[in-house]
């Protein structure tokens, strides 16, 4: 054992740098390391020899371990000294800068939409996330027993307030404030914001998600205005020319109501797994503002008409970047977030 101990200590002493020391360490202490084999071999000796041999093997192991640790220290110090005395090394130079982080993709698209709509004369409005039953449902022409209330599974709070299920309540809030202050249309607003529904989370549904509401009220506003605005918005956000189609859709606060579909950008309408072979992706519920909603807002539906839309922001972001699972947005995985451009310095 003494010979081998000597050999091991010599091998440690002879290591010229950290890499070769690491090699020696693996040879001695790796899975089939020589030092560990020595300790294990004690068990194969006759019973009466084991205590003495075990003690000697452990002492030897300790000595080799200590020599290894001391050599590691020495080599690290040497490497540091070498670096410090390298004439090209400037200790006053700033270290590598930490990443500044990137905006969340929902924020990126939300900001672009705000820029786009404000450039078209829309004004950005906000509203409370804890909303009253009146603004979330009643003011939007959704009667108490209407099944539409159930289709948006609501997180109720104990005082008949709720977590808003959509951004549409800000339509009536804004119209009321606007008319109370004595203004008359045109009125053009967008409302980006967080919404909440008691939904089972899956690839396309979250309990907390983002919408962007839009509302335009003026004399003579028509479906043609709605289609033009939506096409412009989708072209800018999806960064390509888009074909759209309107299908009837039911929402009590619009009449007529539509589901606006966009020609599938992944297959150019030929049919693929993303669009479920239909060639179209449902992206934007919208419609002409219901007369009762205009009345709730203090406006005369004989005089004014309007359109409204409620875009699911995550869905637009998923289409834009080809993301196929909504849960990645809030999953907290930095590898996902780092794919988006770093914030400029």
From the CB of 237, what's the least distance to ligand FA5, in Å?
13
From the CB of 73, what's the least distance to ligand FA5, in Å?
56
| Contact status, residue 304 vs residue 185, Cβ threshold 8 Å | yes
| Contact status, residue 237 vs residue 127, Cβ threshold 8 Å | no
| Contact status, residue 154 vs residue 169, Cβ threshold 8 Å | no
Nearer to ligand FA5, 25 or 261 (CB): 261
Burial of 159 (0-12, 13-18, 19+ CB in 10 A): exposed
From the CB of 277, what's the least distance to ligand FA5, in Å?
20
76 phi and psi angles, rounded to 5 deg: -65, -45
From the CB of 18, what's the least distance to ligand FA5, in Å?
52
Burial of 18 (0-12, 13-18, 19+ CB in 10 A): middle
Nearer to ligand FA5, 203 or 240 (CB): 203
* Residues near ligand FA5 (CB under 6 A): 152, 166, 168, 197, 199, 205-206, 209, 211, 251, 254, 257, 285-287, 308-310, 312, 314-315, 326
Alpha helices in 103-187 (DSSP H): 105-119, 133-136, 147-151, 169-180
Structure-token match 């396309």, residue found:
204
Nearer to ligand FA5, 33 or 256 (CB): 256
From the CB of 169, what's the least distance to ligand FA5, in Å?
9
CA 73 to chain centre: 44
Tell me the residue nearest to ligand FA5 as measured from the CB.
312
User: What is the spatial distance between Cα 230 and Cα 246, in angstroms, rounded to a whole number?
Assistant: 11
User: What is the spatial distance between Cα 29 and Cα 80, in angstroms, rounded to a whole number?
Assistant: 26
| Number of alpha helices (DSSP H) and beta strands (DSSP E) in the chain | 12, 9
From the CB of 202, what's the least distance to ligand FA5, in Å?
9
Q: Is 339 helix (H, G, I), strand (E, B) or coil?
A: coil
Nearer to ligand FA5, 8 or 253 (CB): 253
Nearer to ligand FA5, 105 or 287 (CB): 287
Nearer to ligand FA5, 21 or 319 (CB): 319
From the CB of 284, what's the least distance to ligand FA5, in Å?
7
Question: What is the residue-wise DSSP string for 62-111?
Answer: HHHHHHHHHHHHHHHHHHHHHHHT-TT--TTS--PPPP--B--HHHHHHH
User: What is the spatial distance between Cα 40 and Cα 333, in angstroms, rounded to a whole number?
Assistant: 44
From the CB of 280, what's the least distance to ligand FA5, in Å?
14
Nearer to ligand FA5, 25 or 213 (CB): 213
From the CB of 282, what's the least distance to ligand FA5, in Å?
7
Q: Dihedral sign, CA of 219, 227, 170, 147?
A: positive
Nearer to ligand FA5, 188 or 197 (CB): 197
| Contact status, residue 238 vs residue 249, Cβ threshold 8 Å | no
Nearer to ligand FA5, 52 or 123 (CB): 123
């Amino acid at each position: 054992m003494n010979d081998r101990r000597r050999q091991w200590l010599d091998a440690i002493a002879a290591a010229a740098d950290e890499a070769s020391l690491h090699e020696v360490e693996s040879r001695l202490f790796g899975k089939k390391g020589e030092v560990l084999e020595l300790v294990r071999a004690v068990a194969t000796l006759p019973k009466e020899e084991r205590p003495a041999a075990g003690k000697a093997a452990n002492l030897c192991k300790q000595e080799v371990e200590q020599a290894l640790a001391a050599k590691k220290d020495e080599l690290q110090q040497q490497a540091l000294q070498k670096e410090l005395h390298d004439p090209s090394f400037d200790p006053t130079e700033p270290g590598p800068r930490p990443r500044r982080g990137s905006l969340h993709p929902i924020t990126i698209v939300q900001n672009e939409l705000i820029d786009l709509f404000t450039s078209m004369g829309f004004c950005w409005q906000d509203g409370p996330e804890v909303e009253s039953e009146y603004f979330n449902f009643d003011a939007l022409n959704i009667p108490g027993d209407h099944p539409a209330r159930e289709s948006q599974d609501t997180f109720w709070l104990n005082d008949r307030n709720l977590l808003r299920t959509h951004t549409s309540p800000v339509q009536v809030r804004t119209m009321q404030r606007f008319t109370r202050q004595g203004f008359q249309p045109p009125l053009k607003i967008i409302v980006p914001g967080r919404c909440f529904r008691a939904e089972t989370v899956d690839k396309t549904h979250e309990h907390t998600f983002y919408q962007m509401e839009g509302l335009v009220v003026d004399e003579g506003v028509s479906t043609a205005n709605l289609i033009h605005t939506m096409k412009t918005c989708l072209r800018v956000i999806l960064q390509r020319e888009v074909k759209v189609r309107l299908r009837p859709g039911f929402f009590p606060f619009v009449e007529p109501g539509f589901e606006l579909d966009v020609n599938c950008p992944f297959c150019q309408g030929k049919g693929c797994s993303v669009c479920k072979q239909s060639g179209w992706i449902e992206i934007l519920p919208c419609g002409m503002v219901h007369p009762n909603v205009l009345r709730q807002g203090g406006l005369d539906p004989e005089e004014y008409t309007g359109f409204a839309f409620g875009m699911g922001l995550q869905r637009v972001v998923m289409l834009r970047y080809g993301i196929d699972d909504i849960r990645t947005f809030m999953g907290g995985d930095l590898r996902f977030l780092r794919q988006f451009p770093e914030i400029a310095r």
